[in-house]
Structure 1
């Protein structure tokens, strides 16, 4: 369930702001929680020290992320608060409907939402709950990867490739 809550875009914050840091094969995932809601998942460098879950919700989120890493068809069931424009939230809801193991293009989503591919890409770049809102499943119409995390090369695309390979796309 996505609820709207005003928050800034992805930024690097001090470790004390994380309620868990989970090691994965592609990055350390920094989790932020506000009261009873997941608000942010950030990709941190692979050598970032981990942090055990600091509360019950952080433990549940880590357990579900681990379940996804074991079975890419795992379906998340988490309470989430994310800010964003009406358009961004429409894009994110649409992305959540893309099944694991499949992809859709920015242009296809744009056509469905009566939007533009660039606006869909910008919404993907503003996604603060990657993996759970699987923006990695959105690719360029030409079959190329497109961007990821507001980047067109480097580590972000390596993470996108890993996630897509994990899901056998």
Structure 2
């Protein structure tokens, strides 16, 4: 009986914690400040006014690496919105090796903003954004409100097309 009660309390507690998630559609995305590959500091809030695809990835993550050419296609497809300050991709690497990270940026010719604290899964941002697997992404509007999360492939393409045409 005591074990059953303990289990029930654990389930209720875990459901309560899950219900308090900060990374949900309609909520504000938490601020992120990290270092770009060139060593300069960058803050998510500097992208205010833009639709932003925040892409959490790492060079050691095969699905993440496979997704980079697709992200490049999206970036190139919506380059007019990029030029007009309406759209941006922000890549956040959960790598721990700067050389590997930089080589991937170069290899994929990534033109969008890339940041990392090189702390792997111990990154405070990974915890803040409740990341437990990669790749992971969220899309925010110009006010920082989460519009969608964890869209990939055709779903991401359709969402971007619909959202960027409206803006």
TM more than 0.5? no
Say which one has the larger Rg.
Answer: 2
Please give the range of the TM-score, normalised by the shorter of the 2 chains: under 0.3
